[in-house]
Amino acid sequence: MHATLPLLAATDFPAIRRKALATLQVNVGYRCNQQCVHCHVNAGPNRKEEMAAETADQVLRFIETARIQTLDITGGAPELNPHFRRLVIGARALGMQVIDRCNLTITEQPGQEDLVDFLATQRVTVVASLPCYLQENVDRQRGKHVFEASIRALRKLNATGFGHAETGLELNLVYNPLGPSLPPAQEGLEAAYKRELGSRYGIVFNRLYTLANMPIQRFGSTLISTGQLEPYMKLLKSAHRDENLDSVMCRTLLSVDWQGYVYDCDFNQMLGLPLRLNGFKRRHLADLMGLDVEGLAIEVADHCYGCTAGQGSSCGGALSA
């Protein structure tokens, strides 16, 4: 795989600083039952990296003291980590919102038969990737038969109450383009998803988030191999909007890797660009206990244009309506 950071590090992306911390996003490991083409984590079934019990304990201690609102758990397929449920239960007991970045097909893996019920009991917010409402496009990006399995999982989530406004059990979907193009406007696409998934499969959900593909890891490497990195970067930069800078996720989120090291966001984590604090190369979550990160400079590089292009996208989707 081609390294992308050397091609992104020299940047004219504007300097930005942290606001008050609201979300801890924890990557509990790179193991996944899927191996998607666009995956910015390079996750797959053979990855061995996995958050250990001691690091999960540190996460729980940090959220107890940091007074933040949200624990956002990602991977790989985060549910495959043996401490996933302990993290969920611990954060919910503190009254925090918990987000599970769920790939849907995980619900059909051995040992996950009760996952949907667990997520409902804990009132976890499910955020699930579904890059299209058409089978061919989903299978092309995420693998053969992924679409059918995703539809079965969505039906199960709906049957348990997720995605219905009256239950308060949130089910949000994530769209990203199939290739090096910008996502269409979030509002219009959300309406199309609701119409098509509703009429074809009887599926309901709360929100659709549109995200641009990040020119890093597997997707970035493919861009380099096919000579498309430069035009894609030009596209992202030409669509940059300064007003999106205020709400990119790194302003209010800290990203933690499976070993407990800390980054400004998940993308920086994948690029190996750690949070900069008092000149140290890498900071561990344990070093941040009781520290205020507000005002710290954020590590930026050219991939950041993926967050501010067009309507803007971050882990939470379009930034401006």
The residue (of 124 and 271) whose beta carbon lies closer to ligand SF4 is: 271
226-265 residues near ligand SF4, rule: CB under 6 A: 248-250, 264-265
Site string for ligand SF4, 92-131 (x = CB under 6 A): -----------x----------------------------
The answer to whether 35 contacts ligand SF4 (rule: CB under 6 A) is yes
The interface region with ligand SF4, picked from 46-54, 197-205, 220-228, 298-306 by CB under 6 A, is: 298-306
Instruction: Give whichever of 247 and 259 is closer to ligand SF4, judged by the CB atom.
Output: 247
- Residue 75 found at the interface with ligand SF4 (CB under 6 A): yes
Residue 267 C-beta: closest distance to ligand SF4, Å: 4
Residue nearer to ligand SF4 on the CB measure, 109 or 160: 109
Verify binding: residue 176, ligand SF4, rule CB under 6 A.
no
188 class by beta-carbon count within 10 Å (0-12 exposed, 13-18 middle, 19+ buried): exposed
The yes or no reply on residue 209 touching ligand SF4 (CB under 6 A) is no
Q: Is 319 in the site for ligand SF4 (CB under 6 A)?
A: no
Q: Which of 56, 229, 307, 309 binds ligand SF4 (CB under 6 A)?
A: 307
Pairing verdict, β 262-263 and 253-256: antiparallel
Residues that bind ligand SF4 (CB under 6 A): 32, 34-36, 39, 41, 43, 75-77, 103, 248-250, 264-265, 267-268, 298, 300, 303-304, 307, 314
